Amino acid sequence: MTQPTPVLIAGPLLPSLQTAVDTHFAATHYWELADQQAWLQAHGASIKALVTSGVYGASAALLGQLPNLEAIFSFGVGYDAIAVDVARDRGIVVTNTPQVLDDCVADTAMGLILDTLRRFTEADRYVRAGKWPQARFPVAVKVGGKKLGIVGLGNIGQAIARRAAAFDMEILYHNRSPKAGVDYRYFADLDAMISACDVLVLAVPGGKATDRLIDGRRLALLGSKGFLINIARGSVVDQPALIQALQQGTIAGAGLDVFEAEPQVPESLLAMDNVVLLPHVGSGTQETRQAMGDLVWKNIEGWFYNGKRPLTPV
Ligand code: NAP
């Protein structure tokens, strides 16, 4: 009888996915190890696959201790926390979960647009605090007719554009190259798009190329009537500069699903009423998380049981 293949699981997974991995492989739960370094020294060379997520990632240091690793299966579409350069150099395949989460992440972006401009959660706090009988809640900002600038018109960016168009927003976008088959207005120059839009939505990957892409200077271009929505990665925004811009009225407000050092959210943001703060729930529905888990499993099956052919390699 052949021995089950040794795999390492970086952190707790969707229960059905974890059960499948535990059942079919000799799985080690990395987060449960009392001495991870000692374990890696003794057993790292036996590990053939790493099952991880966009949050747990796979650092170059960890990969260095898994010399016979063949594949990294990640739950999530963003792979900025995975040392993909190291993986590529060593011929390690990396898979992610594109497309299955587009609808829910785009819903989150649209929800943040509506909430931030119309001040719904602020109004909810107002009602709960018993303030309504004393005075009417102030009027907010209309969504329809506003120009939406999307940074990163990929799978999620396009799903955001479709939703926003249905709310009568005008769509502008910036990518490194224009997207074929769409008739939204393309800006090769990010500064020009930011200056032209009312609401700026970030939907680019994280990583070196987009690190602090939105800094204080660009927030000033967005202007005192402009709103920032970030469902991409906290690293894409210079967070201290954003806090300053919100405090000084350089921009009007922000809707944030992602932060610089999650799950830590600075007190200064918690104290502001013109921000809507979500705990990185972009893809967080039962249906989408299940679809992501199913896709991770299909990638694992493709690699181990179908001739090393994963479904969605990066
Ligand atoms: P995607 O289909 O690969 O789209 C990414 C888009 O960004 C592409 O259109 C790409 O166009 C553009 N882009 C990449 N690098 C750029 C740069 N340096 N400057 C300007 N544009 C750039 O990816 P996706 O599936 O839509 O996902 C996008 C990101 O959303 C993920 O990487 C992840 O970080 C984030 N996300 C967040 C959540 C959440 O829970 N909040 C959930 C899922 C995903 P060009 O190549 O032409 O530049």
Active site residue 217: no
Nearest to 75 by CA among 8, 17, 19: 17
Judge whether 101 and 282 are in contact, CB under 8 Å.
Answer: yes
Residue with CA nearest ligand 1 atom 5? 154
**74 CB near ligand 1 (under 6 Å):** no
Judge whether 95 and 208 are in contact, CB under 8 Å.
Answer: no
Query: Ligand 1, closest atom to CA 233?
Result: 34
Q: What is the pLDDT along the chain (314 residues), one digit of tens a residue?
A: 688 999 999 999 999 999 999 999 999 999 999 999 999 999 999 999 999 999 999 999 999 999 999 999 999 999 999 999 999 999 999 999 999 999 999 999 999 999 999 999 999 999 999 999 999 999 999 999 999 999 999 999 999 999 999 999 999 999 999 999 999 999 999 999 999 999 999 999 999 999 999 999 999 999 999 999 999 999 999 999 999 999 999 999 999 999 999 999 999 999 999 999 999 999 999 999 999 999 999 999 999 999 999 999 99
- Supply the pLDDT for residue 292: 98
In whole angstroms, give the CA distance from residue 30 to residue 44: 11
In whole angstroms, give the CA distance from residue 231 to residue 105: 7
In whole angstroms, give the CA distance from residue 53 to residue 75: 4
In whole angstroms, give the CA distance from residue 71 to residue 54: 15
Pocket-testing residue among 77, 99, 283, ligand 1, by greatest number of atoms within 8 A of Cβ: 77
CB atoms within 10 A of CB 222: 23
Nearest to 256 by CA among 240, 235, 279, 284: 279
Determine the length of the chain: 314
- Supply the pLDDT for residue 1: 63
- Options 3.40.605.10, 3.40.50.720, 3.30.420.40, 1.10.10.10; which CATH number does 6-100+287-305 get? 3.40.50.720
Task: Using only the alpha carbons of the chain, give its radius of gyration.
Answer: 22
Inter-CA distances, 108 with 81, 220, 286, Å: 22, 25, 14
In whole angstroms, give the CA distance from residue 309 to residue 305: 9
Active site residue 280: yes
Q: Topology of 102-277 in CATH?
A: Rossmann fold (3.40.50)
CA of 154 to the centre of ligand 1 (A): 6
Apex 56 CA angle, 207 and 16, nearest 5 = 130
Nearest to 257 by CA among 199, 198, 202, 216: 202
Q: Do domains 6-100+287-305 and 102-277 have the same CATH topology?
A: yes
CA of 164 to the centre of ligand 1 (A): 18
Judge whether 274 and 87 are in contact, CB under 8 Å.
Answer: no
Inter-CA distances, 21 with 17, 51, 53, 200, 303, Å: 6, 9, 14, 40, 13
Judge whether 231 and 258 are in contact, CB under 8 Å.
Answer: yes
Q: Is 163 helix (H, G, I), strand (E, B) or coil?
A: helix
Q: Full-prediction pTM beyond 0.85?
A: yes
Domain edges within the chain: 6-100+287-305, 102-277
**205 CB near ligand 1 (under 6 Å):** yes
Pocket-testing residue among 175, 200, 230, ligand 1, by greatest number of atoms within 8 A of Cβ: 175
